[in-house]
Chains A and B, each alone.
Chain A
Amino acid sequence: MPAATPTRVFALALLAWAAAAAGAAGAAASPADDELARRTYANAEQLLREGKIEQALKDFEQVSTAYPQSDMADDALYRMGSHYYPVEGFETLGTAGREAIARAKEIFSRINSRYPREDHAPRALYKLGLIALDPSNPQRSLDEAYASFSGVVNIYPGSDVVDRALFGAGYADFLAGRLDKAITSFEAAAERFPRGTAAQESRYHMGLAHARLGSAIRALEEFQNVRDVDPNGRLARRALDRLTQVHKLKVLPGLGVKPLFVLDERYAPALDPNTVKGEVSLAVDQDNVLRLLDSRTGSIVRLARDGRLQSTGQPLPGAVSVAVDPAGVELAAAGDRIRSGMELVIPSRQEGSGARPYEKITAVARVGTHEAALLDEGRNEILQYSGDPARLKLLYRDPSGRARLSGLAAGAEGKLYSIDRRGRKILEIPAGPAVQQGGAVREVPLPAEADRLLQEPAALAADDLGTLYVLDRRSRAVVVMTSDGRMLEAIEPKPGPSEMGYPAALAVGPGAEIYVYDAKRRTILRFR
């Protein structure tokens, strides 16, 4: 018999708790109490409608404390909890504040311990799953999230959130890298609730999981399922990007098809060449919205997938690098500070008895969902920021002290890649706590053509299929290779519209679109 994993132990404990709590359900309230509770609840609702939030919350609290046995007690608690934590689905994770999360967690836990048989118990447990998964939660725990979601599925199989809970359980496993297990949950959500709200997310994530497991055909089938079920839905376009990406990078090379990438001549970014004056950094989100950061102004220009100008962000003076997470939250680095979404952070390190800021953070990359990796070029260190600016975790430091790290990209399984410009090497830093000052870091083997093509690697990008994209300024080429050193293709300068004059920045879209900023022509080229 296999040993119980922490997740399983947690799930078993949840089941035992639910059984005990169900047995200890309280006595019914008197009709008079019920009536008073109902009136107080209605009053609180009215106050909410009038915008008197504080008073409303007090009334809800009153219902739950003064009439704990009434029918309305769990409703009032749920309303309170949902006020603090309104997140209902996975796409809005990360939008709540830390204090609100802590408060909501306490309230939802109260529902589940006191009213495990009431209507809101499954939803409260589901919310606890979301909270455990929420990147804004300092106590984020994928195991706890999995346990809560599987608790909903096992304890409340008839509840209306079971499909989302199944997806949540899969998503927690997916983020934790337990991909086989994740697929089982996604499959259940998609097959048991084919028309449920979580079915399409499950199919899409099944595709992602299969892709990461190297089952390219299965991944393609699942992405196509997303489009077959709802060709105009929210995920249909993302699925098309992924279909294109997996097909291009995993199927076509096996068929010997070349070229994989050609210039997208129809792509015409709405970029005024005269407005970009400084160094440029590029990033693309999973909806194929491109971010262009101009270091001179520190502002981020957002271009839609067809090149249209979508918006311009608030400038961050001194910003030199931009990244974007799957939820579209932008991250920018500006020497001594970073900005994550709307939050400006000045990371510091403990040195002697005082805290000292970092001074040369020149690159950022997303790790996991909401965590960030930072490159401090001054100290040649790669650090992980997880929400606390005073406690950055050291992921890598060049043991020789001679390296000149440049650029940072996050790839499959949370691996980070950076260029050692001095040694013309690409380093792979694995994710997880095992990383100790370069101990597990490896040098990515370079293909034979690299000698010729990688003379001055200046930027790199990576995708979640294990593909690396390296831009070389001197050879004016982009090398596309696998992280185990297999050359897929090189986009080399050829006379004509695809010729890059002075490629300066690189980003890769979800459909394996390569965006290159050509500083000479002051435009962006897209290769698909």
Chain B
Amino acid sequence: MTRSAGRSSGSARAPLRAAALALAAACSLLPAVLGGGLPARAQEEEDIGGIIERYRGLLTLANQKLEDLDLPEALARYTEVIDGYKTGRLPSGTPLTRQIVGQAYDGRARTYANLGRAAEAEADFESLIRYDPAWPIDRAQVSPKIVALYDKVRAKVIARLAIQTEPPGAAVFLNGEPIGRSPVFDRELPAGRYTVKVEAQGFEPLTETLELQGGSRVDKALRLVPNARSIVVFTSPAGARVSVDGQARGTTFGSAGPEHQDLASGAGLALGDLSAPLLVEHLAPGNHLLKIEKECHEPQLLSFGVSIDPNDNSPVRFEPVRLTASLGSIAVESLPPGADVLVDGQPAGKTPLRKDGICTGPHAVVLKHPEAGQWIGSLQVMKGQRAQLKERLRMTLAFAGMTSAGPAGQPAAGETELSEALARLKSMNVVRPGAGLPEAWLARGRQTAQGGLPAEWVQGAAEATGADVVLAASPAEGGFERRAEVLIYAARHPGMPPDRLLVRLDDPAALSQFIARLDRPTPLTRPWLGVRAIEIHRAVNPVAIRVQPDSPAAKAGVKLGESIISLGGRPLASPRDLASAISELPEGAQASLAVQPPRGMPRQVNVALGSSPVMAAMDDPGLLYAVLAAEMSFRARWEAAMSRPASLERTAALLNLAVAFMHAGLNDAALRDALGPLTLPGGAGISSGTISYLRGLCLHRLKRLQEARQHLEAAAGQPDATLWSHDGPPVAERARRLLATL
């Protein structure tokens, strides 16, 4: 007894130490278990914690008494804990109480055994095993007698269950709790009644009730009844998208293996042309729509039925779906020619381009000329047809977005409206420059707008997108209207200050006006008659006071002082009528002109209208000079690329480019890039005298007075040369005035 007790004592002490450690670990979990929470709940949990702590104290005391072989006292304390559990005073469900209750049953069973009360010990071990079938009795420390007793009880209480299904892999639930996928092998369970449920996709769920006897082993085999069926799809060629009833089900791939040789042969296909099988699983019984699509091929639409075969529900194999290639061709021309053609981002050649074997459907097309702009758009190719594209290359605007970030992932205020408005531009391609403005600048918001965008970023955006114009905006402050301050850069001319203007975002008319302003090409030429007329008292028609030498009017014999009665049959009462009549006729038009000398008889002559270059004003606050510079630079390059280096349009574009540069104080650039490449003959109107004057003016502003004098003197010697247009004021008088200041 002493020995037994000694062993018992020893055997009791070690597990108790282990139990104490486990309890300590569990206690460390206690705060986590109890968690935080609302004050009331915290109080309640504090109370629960106190109760558990009290029972843990009881258990520690019981363990101590068992170790001290004070068995009655130990028995009493264990019983107190177990009663607490049974009556619900000891809250259940926490890892700690689970430890406390398990140890209490374990301890009391061993106390009973030490007291020789085997039946009660057996009862407690049974309770323990039912309470926790996996309770780890310490076989190394507890006496073999007690272990044997425990094993005897366990053999009587525990049953083993194995479940197999056909097909395997079904999800298995026991009393509603998932226990894994079939097959399930020898799961130990306390004897009792269990509900088994088995589920698998494509099969009806199956439920059974089992009565497990302690010590028994139950093998359960379940056959699942199918409720869906799979199909196998082959396509030729592979790479086709397969969808059933509008839902994507995969893409065929690879090539079929030798086992499908018969299938390929039957379909008249080489094995290598047949895709690997694509399994489309679990289709419900009934009719379905199968759609097979592949770029450059005609889509196939098949209707099929699915039925369940309880005996052989293996996938239904479809005949290979043979896809027919769908190709067309494209013919692309550009003005000017020589533009790189990119179809869906891939180089396809240079304009003019004809290319066959283009897949049907929409294609993104970019025509990009190194000098003369680009065209960005799309082209629809139809099967067997040639899609024609003939486009004039145009400027590109890169919309950099707003200079401040929007709220969490949203576009900045005004960005959507501006973006939508810009998309309506017809004369320019509109693109977004990649990732937009860097975060650091966005964070600066209005400061970025006030300081403007860094030149290197503008350059980078322009190079990446081929943009001529870069536009950014920031929400404008003040007022009740929603406005944006728009910044527009001439991307190829970093020295040009940006145009700044306020645009109302909440007024569709104002936005449209802004877009129209950007969309309206600056007129470079206009119809020209070559006569300046005035109105005077008593005269009913405009009176000619200047007839430009070699002008259409001069060639038609119009003379100073003559009244101009009508043009093209339209009666003229004022110089405004005359200007309006001229502007309504196309350049080069033939028209009849009725004139009357002072105190003479009227006569009719025929004139062929000419063209005059038109220059923008040098300091008009209403003009967007950065846009003007970008546009004029583009149009000059465009004309050159059209092999028209001496065209009137190119001359006018370069003159206007000079105006834009001079407005911005970029006189060097005006001399080098605009006036430098410009040569005009002498004579009346916009001519070499005009160029001399503008060069003289630039040089004068650059304080290169000696050179300025030379050019101004040349201009002063050209009495018929004009500024702004062939009908503009003479440059000679301006040159003389400037010379007087030297």
Contacts and interface: CB of A to CB of B under 8 A. Distances in A.
B560 A244 contact: no
A257 B536 CA distance: 15
Contact of A252 (B575, B598, B620, B730): B598
Interface in B695-742: 729-730, 733-734, 736-737, 740
A191 B619 CA distance: 7
A247 B536 contact: yes
A217 B545 CA distance: 7
B536 A193 contact: no
Contact of A255 (B598, B619, B737): B598
Interface in B532-548: 532-538, 543, 545-546
A511 interface: yes
B621 interface: yes
Interface string A218-253: 101101100110010000000011011001100110
A179 to B, nearest CB: 10
A255 B600 CA distance: 12
Contacts of A218: 729-730, 733
A340 to B, nearest CB: 31
A183 interface: yes
B561 interface: yes
Given A228-B575, A244-B536, A220 B545 contact: yes
Contacts of B574: 227, 231
A243 B560 contact: no
A218 B720 CA distance: 12
Nearest to B742: A2
Interface centre among B535, B536, B538, B579 (most CB of A within 10 A): B536
B737 A184 contact: yes
Contacts of B579: 228
A55 B621 CA distance: 42
B730 A243 contact: no
Contact of B622 (A195, A247, A528): A195
A194 B737 contact: no
Contacts of B617: 191-192, 194
Contact of A247 (B534, B575, B619, B621): B534
B534 A223 contact: yes
Given A247-B543, A528-B537, A257 B599 contact: yes
A251 B619 contact: no
A528 B537 CA distance: 8
B576 interface: yes
A220 B534 contact: yes
A180 interface: yes
Contacts of B561: 251-252, 255, 257
Interface in B558-611: 560-561, 574-576, 579, 598-599
Given A224-B535, A227-B535, A528-B537, A193 B729 contact: no
A192 B545 contact: no
A183 B737 CA distance: 9
B618 interface: yes
A243 B737 contact: no
Contacts of A252: 561, 598
Interface string B520-539: 00000000000011111110
A311 interface: no
B586 to A, nearest CB: 23
Nearest to A196: B621
Report the interface size class on chain A: 20 to 34
A221 B729 contact: yes
Interface residues of B, number: 31
A224 to B, nearest CB: 4
A218 B546 CA distance: 9
B580 to A, nearest CB: 11
A215 interface: yes
B740 A180 contact: yes
Contacts of A217: 532, 545-546
Contacts of A251: 545, 560-561
B525 to A, nearest CB: 20
A180 B535 contact: no
B720 to A, nearest CB: 12
Contact of A193 (B532, B621, B734): B621
A241 B534 CA distance: 12
Contacts of B734: 187
Contacts of A184: 737
A236 to B, nearest CB: 10
Contacts of A221: 532, 534, 545-546, 729
A183 B730 CA distance: 13
Nearest to A258: B599
B545 A180 contact: no
Given A192-B620, A220-B545, A257-B598, A180 B537 contact: no
Contact of A194 (B534, B620, B733): B620
A109 B560 CA distance: 52
Contacts of A187: 734
B273 to A, nearest CB: 74
A241 B734 CA distance: 26
Contacts of A227: 535, 574-576
A184 B696 CA distance: 16
B560 A180 contact: no
A160 to B, nearest CB: 11
Contacts of A228: 575-576, 579
B685 to A, nearest CB: 14
Contacts of B729: 218, 221
Nearest to B621: A193
B598 A244 contact: no
Given A218-B730, A220-B545, A192 B619 contact: yes
Contact of B535 (A181, A183, A243, A255): A243
A220 B575 CA distance: 12
Given A184-B737, A228-B576, A257-B598, A243 B620 contact: no
A224 B560 contact: no
Contact of A240 (B536, B599, B730): B536
Interface centre among B532, B545, B561, B740 (most CB of A within 10 A): B545
Contacts of A247: 534, 536, 543, 545
B574 to A, nearest CB: 8
A194 B737 CA distance: 21
Interface string B218-236: 0000000000000000000
A233 to B, nearest CB: 13
Contact of B538 (A181, A223, A231, A528): A528
A511 B730 CA distance: 26
A247 B536 CA distance: 8
Contacts of A188: 619
Interface string A494-515: 0000000000000000010000
Contacts of B621: 192-193
Nearest to A305: B537
Nearest to B579: A228
Given A251-B560, A255-B560, A511 B537 contact: yes
27 contacts: A187-B734, A188-B619, A191-B617, A193-B619, A194-B620, A215-B733, A218-B730, A218-B733, A220-B534, A220-B545, A221-B534, A224-B535, A227-B535, A227-B575, A227-B576, A228-B579, A231-B576, A240-B535, A240-B537, A243-B534, A243-B535, A244-B536, A247-B545, A252-B598, A255-B598, A528-B537, A528-B538
Interface of A: 180-181, 183-184, 187-188, 191-195, 215, 217-218, 220-221, 223-224, 227-228, 231, 240-241, 243-244, 247-248, 251-252, 255, 257, 511, 528
Given A180-B740, A183-B737, 19 more contacts: A180-B737, A181-B737, A191-B618, A195-B622, A218-B730, A220-B534, A220-B545, A221-B545, A221-B729, A224-B533, A224-B535, A228-B575, A231-B576, A240-B535, A244-B538, A247-B534, A251-B560, A257-B598, A511-B537
Closest 4 pairs between A and B when the two form their complex, measured CB to CB: A192-B619, A244-B536, A244-B537, A224-B534
Interface of B: 532-538, 543, 545-546, 560-561, 574-576, 579, 598-599, 617-622, 729-730, 733-734, 736-737, 740
